[in-house]
Structure 1
């Protein structure tokens, strides 16, 4: 099965790289043409112009090899503890991501348990949970940072709160669906055994909700990373992937921006993969089929 997926994945990756290089040519063609024209009195050879679009110092769209070179320079050639290291900035963002993800997951589970067991919470709280996600995170993040800053709460916690805001929602919705997934026949059987609500929750509802929980957590951990990065933007942070995005924007260095984005995507993939690994281990111990 793994071998059968390798060729399609590689094909798609190669196609993306090809389109990326083509896009770099079109987007950088005008600026590089103007630069070469200022440096030369005669006509510019097509090959020279083409190569220039892939090696521009301030490209509109950097070529993939330029992004790879920037990632190598900021990871392999500097100390991981240096502020010039992309690993250092990734760790700053990751710490906020994980804290927000843990808080958001715990909050989502608690809210879902309350919603499933209380009609009042189901009718009153669930609509607010859904409505909360209609507010743009870019509007909420500055307010959270300012309010917590006035309370002398700084560091990773304000960013973790923003991550929590994005990550609790998928967990809440997924767990509500999962806790309600057992068949009515199974619920009736538990009641015939005089099982309490707590016993039904622990022995039936929670085991049945595990597949829904882990699926929601995969979405939540990626959303938590987005929240951590967004939380770094309104603060003018000096550390974190959000800070690298700001630095690249201030100095017009799109290569720095893309390198930070690639690192963020790699982190998201690894985090989702770790959640998937935990899912397989837990469900296997629960006796689920592979």
Structure 2
């Protein structure tokens, strides 16, 4: 309970700030609609017009404030509007429907998982090479760091176009971008983990005349497991971000990125916000699965989960 309370406190604070921000963000839209519907009460005299929190509305029109939480096309949707849209597009829609976020979630999840596997495998191999090869440590590691300075929004369209010109489309290009974002945390975490054994432990392995492979499998890899899972939690979340970014320049018709584009292009912010929260919930679930695997594996290895 003590571990959950801080999280609930932060969530509650965010919801309160969100609800407060809904009023100034949507009031001018509600006021314009109210004027068209003759719902705004005109002041009796020019001197009687008072500003309501700088919104340019008369105090007599304070009754419009509740309408900001139910406006159909708000600039900032209220929490209950987003929750309602999520429920409508997950529970009330068939999972095969093109309007179901479950359907779009699966479309995004496939390249995310493939890219995560590719990025993890690449990251582990690079980390092993960096630890065992001074040449790779001095050459590959700086390039791996420099690669992360390139904005993914600029890189994603280039990768899509290049692979498309080679006839490679669909799942693989999005997976490459997901792998690009996920491999770096794995490299950094694995390098740190593989180098975590103390000099005394390494000397003991040399005393036993252990080969480099035996040191890797018997000492370095087990010692790097906690570091690896910490990196995997970051990597799996980064993978889904990479997939969504990859969906944006391709004009994808399915996936969370496609739903966000539909909401922006057709003036349906609830669609965009629902897709955004669905992506966040999916990422949280993926991180939770990795954390569960970590707990089970570390206990089997005799280690205490963090």
For the aligned pair, the TM-score class normalised by the smaller chain equals over 0.9
List per-residue Cα deviations over 1:126-171 (Å, max 9, x = no partner).
0000000000000110011111111111111110000000000000
Give the deviation of 1:64 after TM superposition. Answer: 0.7
Q: Name which of 66, 83, 88 aligns with 2:103.
A: 88
After superposition, the Cα gap between the structure-2 partners of 1:282 and 1:35, relative to the gap in structure 1 and judged at 3 Å, is: same
* Structure 2 unaligned spans of 5+: 43-59
Q: Residue 187 of structure 1 corresponds to which residue in structure 2?
A: 202
Deviations 1:87-113, CA, capped at 9 Å, x for gaps: 000111011110000000000000000
CA deviation after TM superposition for structure 1 residue 56, in Å: 1.2
Change (3 A) 1:259 1:42: closer
1:110 aligned to 125, 148, 156, which one? 125
Distance 1:7 1:113 in 2: 40
Q: Name the structure 2 match of 1:260.
A: 275
Structure 1 spans left out of the alignment, 5+ residues: none
CA separation of 1:74/1:195 partners in 2, compared to 1, >3 Å: closer, same or farther? Answer: same
RMSD value, Cα: 1.3
Counterpart among 115, 133, 145 of residue 130 in structure 1: 145
Partner of 2:10: 12
Q: Secondary structure at the match of 1:40?
A: coil
Q: Which stretches of structure 1, 4 residues or longer, exceed 6 Å deviation after superposition?
A: none
Q: 1:30 aligns with which of 28, 31, 51?
A: 28
Q: Normalising by the residue count of structure 1, what TM-score does the alignment of the two structures yield?
A: 0.96
Q: State whether structure 2 residue 241 is matched by structure 1 residue 226.
A: yes
Tell me which residue corresponds to 1:157: 172
Q: Is the 8 A contact 2:41 2:61 kept in 1?
A: no
**Deviation sequence 1:198-242 (CA, Å, 0-9, x none):** 010000000000000000000000000100000000001000000
**1 CA distance for matches of 2:222 and 2:40?**
74
Question: Displacement, 1:12?
Answer: 2.6
Provide the aligned length of Structure 1 versus Structure 2: 288
In 2, Cα distance between equivalents of 1:257 and 1:189? 57
- In structure 1, the partner of 2:41 is 43
